Amino acid sequence: MESVLGSRNRASEIIVKIKEEGKEGDMIEALRKNGIVNEKIKPWKDYSGTTAGAVESFDMIKYILQGIAILVAVSTIFIISFVNVNNRKRQIGILKAIGMDKRIIITSYIFQALFYTIVGILVGVAIIYLVLVPYFIKNPLDFSLGLVTLSVEFIDIAISALFLLIAAIVGGYFPSSKVAEKNIIESIWGNG
């Protein structure tokens, strides 16, 4: 840094910001391999004190909220699929009466649940990236530790989307398979 800045003995510390959080150890190792061996190099969490505790608390809150949101979404997907299938018992019975295989009926309801889920995921991602993130960049929350903006990591969205897609498959399969297994007459007349 002295050679780059053209000054001598003026800095007591240098702070390096890297693009990916959690890769601090890799950066420290790279600096050591490049000849910086006698200097103290530590990740930001070692210097942060109370900030690190606050970050860990925010991470815990994030995981709890993600879990609750996924449970609510899974329940919603299952309820919508269940109500949809129950309201179409007669149609399913007629389809079975004209010779449609129950696997085709079940698959169609799975695809319907997947369609609703994919549309919901796309709308949710659009709201996050087009509305919420820009809003919090312009209007950060003012905490005692400083200004805080919304940080959305792709891996969190991908994991949530995967859980929702699995829930759509399960939510489409069980109600439709239950009705598809019924006797044709029971399905058409709505008995049971």
Q: Which two tokens stand for residue 107?
A: 């698959």
Delimit the domains of the chain by residue range. 2-45, 49-189
Rounded Cα distance between 73 and 61, Å, is 18
> Which pair of tokens denotes residue 94?
């007629």
Q: Tell me the CB-side half-sphere exposure of residue 92, using CA atoms within 13 A.
A: 26
Q: Which residues of 49-63 are buried (b: 16+ CB within 10 A; e: fewer)?
A: eeeeebeeeeeeeee
Distances (CA, A) of 51 to 48, 54, 162: 5, 5, 32
Whole-structure pTM value:
0.65
- pLDDT tens digit at each of 192 positions of the chain: 666 666 677 666 777 777 777 788 888 888 888 888 777 777 766 766 666 677 778 788 888 988 898 888 888 888 888 888 888 888 888 888 888 888 898 899 899 999 999 999 999 999 999 999 999 999 988 877 678 788 888 888 999 899 899 989 988 898 888 888 877 777 666 655
